Every structure is written in structure tokens, then in C-alpha cells.
Amino acid sequence: GAGVSQSPRYKVAKRGQDVALRCDPISGHVSLFWYQQALGQGPEFLTYFQNEAQLDKSGLPSDRFFAERPEGSVSTLKIQRTQQEDSAVYLCASSQGRTRVTEAFFGQGTRLTVV
């Protein structure tokens, strides 16, 4: 596709439910990032992939959060046993380069609401 695509756009989950958020990066982009954006805040880094390798997961807030990119393209962010504090917009971004300084293209995000 022409840009970074995320699905679903909106997700409502009951507390305790597991969710999976999908990111389709721009074709050929090596680097992929996940960010979490709480209401009224800027995006905060969660994790970073270079191809299929997860090189940095220091931003994942707990072991309930898990991300994968098994074939170096599509990525999935999974949240187990969702809590109300997980409510946020989850942004995916990809970039062509192997460093993080190069321009990253963002998807529209998935808005997760935990009730």
C-alpha cells in the first residue's frame, strides 16, 4: 500500500480480554516502531524492530505487552488481560533506514478503549 496501515481503527475490549493490533508497514521498510499515545499526551515509544529482529522493547510497560514481526513485514502488538490504563491510541511507524534518525512514516493508529 501507499502508507502504513493499521487495523482495526477502533477496538473496545472488556477488562481482562486479550487484544491484537495489526500494522502493515510500507513495503520494503526495514524499521518498524510501536508507540502508545494516551489522551492529551505525545506518543511514547514501546518497541522497535529491524526486519524480524526486535532490537528494543524497553518501552513495553509490562509483560502483558508483546510484539512480533515474524517475517519482517507485518507486525502485531498483543496485549493480554487488558486493563483500563491500557486505553490509548497505538501508533505504528516504519522507516526505510536501519537507524532511527531517518524519517518515520506513521499509520493512523488504533484507538483501544478498555471498559
Binding residues for other proteins (CB under 8 A)? 3-4, 33, 35, 40-45, 48, 56, 59, 91, 93, 99-101, 103-109
Nearer to other proteins, 71 or 103 (CB): 103
Nearer to other proteins, 37 or 83 (CB): 37
- Compute the least distance from the CB of residue 68 to other proteins, in Å: 18
Cα–Cα separations (whole angstroms), residue 48 to 4, 14, 28, 31, 51: 15, 28, 16, 7, 10
**For residues 60, 73, 16 and 109, what is the CA-based torsion angle, rounded to 10 degrees?**
80
Judged on CB neighbours under 10 Å (0-12, 13-18, 19+), 92 is buried
- Compute the least distance from the CB of residue 77 to other proteins, in Å: 15
Nearer to other proteins, 17 or 37 (CB): 37
- Any idea what DSSP says for residue 17? -
- Compute the least distance from the CB of residue 81 to other proteins, in Å: 26
- Compute the least distance from the CB of residue 93 to other proteins, in Å: 8
Nearer to other proteins, 57 or 64 (CB): 57
